[in-house]
Amino acid sequence: MENLQLAVSGLANGCIYGLIALGFVLIYKATEQVNFAQGDLMMLGAFIALALGNDSHIGAPFWVACAGAVLAMAALGWSLERVVLRPILGQPQIAAMILTIALGFVLRFVAGAIWGHDPLALETPIAGANFSLGGLILGADEIAAIVVTLLLTGLLFAFFSRTRLGVAMQASSQNQLAAYYMGIPVKRVHGLTWALAGATAAVAGILFASKGSIDPGTGFLGIKAFAAAVIGGFGSLPGALAGGLIVGLIEPFASRYISAGYAQIAPYAVMILVLVVRPHGIFAQVSAKKV
Amino acid sequence: MSDALLEVRNLESFYGPVMAIRGVSLDVREGSAVAVLGANGAGKTTLLRTISGIMDPEKGEIRLAGEPIAGGDPDRIVRKGVVHVPEGREVFPLLSVAENLGMGAYTRRDDGVDGDIETVLRYFPVLKQRLGQPAGTLSGGEQQMLAIARGLMARPRIMLLDEPSLGLSPIMVRDIFAIIRRLKEERGVTMLLVEQNARMALGVADFGYVMETGQIVMEGPADRLERSPDVQEFYLGGREAGALAERRWKRRKTWRS
């Protein structure tokens, strides 16, 4: 029973890592750039929801605040691509990497300047609610994290496989030149991908904030999510989610059965192990690509 | 001044620091097939990429039915009816064959797409059995067929075909060219065909141009080009290879006359 309890809380955390990892993978697949500010986008999304919804700030209803944060982050993601990343399109990958790392710093300081560096809590209607199922105690926040992640993943899956724009996004990530030849507006697709990554980050941020407090340093969670994306195989959407769940599950068990310190190291140890054994990640699609 | 569907005038284009196209002019009439022959590095691919907007020209004009299109974004040029079937196939490897075909029609908003898939597949029956398969698992020849079929899905006014014979077996090359000929004759597809395989290309084309180091050095109706001693020698293998380099320079002057 104790193990089950650990698994549930691990899964809930893993869902959040998975959502951030999803943002990494979305942008990487579409633009071949790694957005190291993805964690900071999540942090910013959480803060915007908090600023809109908390009574001490604007005090809008919770759901309005959530929608507002998601829309604001989509707009921010779109504009970041348009203003910051598009000018360096075609430059070596390292340029985009350094740019997004710098972007992370900027977002962190902006958040710090606006909301301060002390931890703040997002007011949610589900805060503190618990259900007990048998001997198991399920937090409403944990259930929300799992359910919302499943829904969002399903939506994204349907979007990528069913809609014309989604298939075009896949197409331009698989063969950018051919996408140009087919008349797919590749640059606009990049912008929309960033918007999607921003919106996903906002959802992850709200879920994270409803499980505890946030401060501008929360964005460093992105590093753990990066490990998750690598474990899942950078470039695979289901892989990103699976990688997040793996990292989420490892943490509580490592902390329970080894020691709390090792729980911090465990995700990265697994990442290294996966890189050694299966360099393209668990869900790699690389083998299917024939040149 | 000309009633051609596609007109290229004094086009100059750079490939990085290299001037790959040095003042090329050519015409493609509606319903005709025009071949551009030339060796590796003659600038043929750069020419097509400049027309389709992947590369911007330095100088010169490109007009489609009289309307200037030079330097436009590739998606706008596709919308105007110019589709480029790139060399080396360039399919979307993880998308299914059907999805690849659907992407060919990306710029279209009408609902004739499903019907067109049926029509296009009549020319490429092999693809019909592979509709659900990822395009990356097809053979080279099948991928080339898919690339052409995908190009047709845009219902182009003109199709730019870049080296459809590249890297394929002789039998496959023959099959592909048989399809290209049928498309031209039965469906009246206008094409600009870039090829190293001069015999195949001139067999389909009405008119031909020979390109060398970024310039047109010779032009004429396809049957006349096919009989020309220079083309026979350099592109149809009329003389043994050893004499080639030397002869090339000696006879070059006569090419511009």
Chain segment A217-235, per-residue pLDDT in tens: 999 999 999 999 999 888 7
- Is A229 within the bounds of a domain? no
Task: Report B:202-231 residues touching A (Cβ under 8 A).
Answer: none
Q: Among B75, B89, B148, B158, which would you mutate to test the A interface (most chain A Cβ atoms within 10 Å of its Cβ)?
A: B75
Helix extents (H) in chain B: 44-51, 74-80, 97-104, 113-123, 125-128, 140-152, 170-187, 198-204, 222-227, 229-234, 244-255
A88 assigned to some structural domain: yes
Using CB atoms, pick whichever of B90, B103, B137 lies closest to residue A184: B103
Of the pLDDT bands very low, low, confident and very high (cuts 50, 70, 90), residue A135 is: confident
> B135 CB near a chain A CB, below 8 Å?
no
| Residue A202 belongs to some domain of the structure | yes
**Would you give the distance in Å from CA A93 to the centre of its chain?**
21
**Domain total of chain A:** 1
Which domain covers residue A152, as residue numbers?
2-218
What integer pLDDT is reported at residue B2 of this predicted model? 59
Report yes or no on A101 lying in a domain. yes
Indicate if the pLDDT at residue A152 is higher than 50: yes
Minimal CA–CA distance to B229: which of B247, B241, B211, B208? B247
Mean of the per-residue pLDDT values for chain B? 87
pLDDT of residue B234: 72
**What are the residues of chain A with a beta carbon less than 8 Å away from any beta carbon of chain B?**
164, 167-168, 170-171, 174-175, 177-186, 285, 288-290
Q: What percent of chain B has pLDDT over 70?
A: 91
> Would you say residue A71 lies in a domain?
yes
Q: Encode B186-255 in three state secondary structure.
A: HHCCCEEEEECCHHHHHHHCCEEEEEECCEEEEEEEHHHHHHCHHHHHHCCCCCCHHHHHHHHHHHHHHH
- Which pLDDT belongs to residue B242? 46
Q: What is the mean pLDDT of chain A?
A: 90
A54-113: pLDDT as tens digits: 988 888 999 999 999 999 999 999 999 999 999 887 788 899 999 999 999 999 999 999
Average the pLDDT over B212-226 and give the result: 90
pLDDT digits (tens, 9 = 90+) for A247-285: 999 999 998 898 888 888 888 999 999 889 888 888 776
Residue A24 has pLDDT above 90, yes or no: yes
A251 within a domain of the structure (yes/no): no
Q: How far is A65 from chain B (nearest CA, A)?
A: 36
Name the pTM for this structure.
0.84
Q: Hey, of A182, A190, A290, which one would you mutate to test binding to chain B, going by the most B CBs within 10 A of its CB? A: A182
Of A150-154, A169-173, B2-6, the one with minimum mean pLDDT is B2-6
In a domain, A239, yes or no: no
Contact A174 B95 (CB under 8 A): yes
| Cα separation, B158 vs B28, whole angstroms | 9
**More reliable by pLDDT, B126 or A129:** B126
For residue A133, the model assigns a pLDDT of 80
Residue A150 predicted with pLDDT over 50 = yes
Q: How confident is the model at residue A290 (pLDDT cuts 50, 70, 90)?
A: very low
pLDDT higher than threshold 50 for residue B1: no
Cβ–Cβ gap B92/A175 under 8 Å: yes
CA dist., res. A276 & res. A51, Å (int): 44
Closest CA to A43 of A114, A94, A98: A114
Q: What is the pLDDT of residues B107-164, one digit of tens each?
A: 988 888 889 999 999 999 999 999 999 999 999 999 999 999 999 999 999 999 999 9
User: If you measure CA to CA, which chain B residue comes closest to A178?
Assistant: B90
Q: What is the mean pLDDT of residues A162-171?
A: 91
**Is residue A179, in this structure, part of any structural domain at all?**
yes
- Residue B69 is predicted with a pLDDT of 93
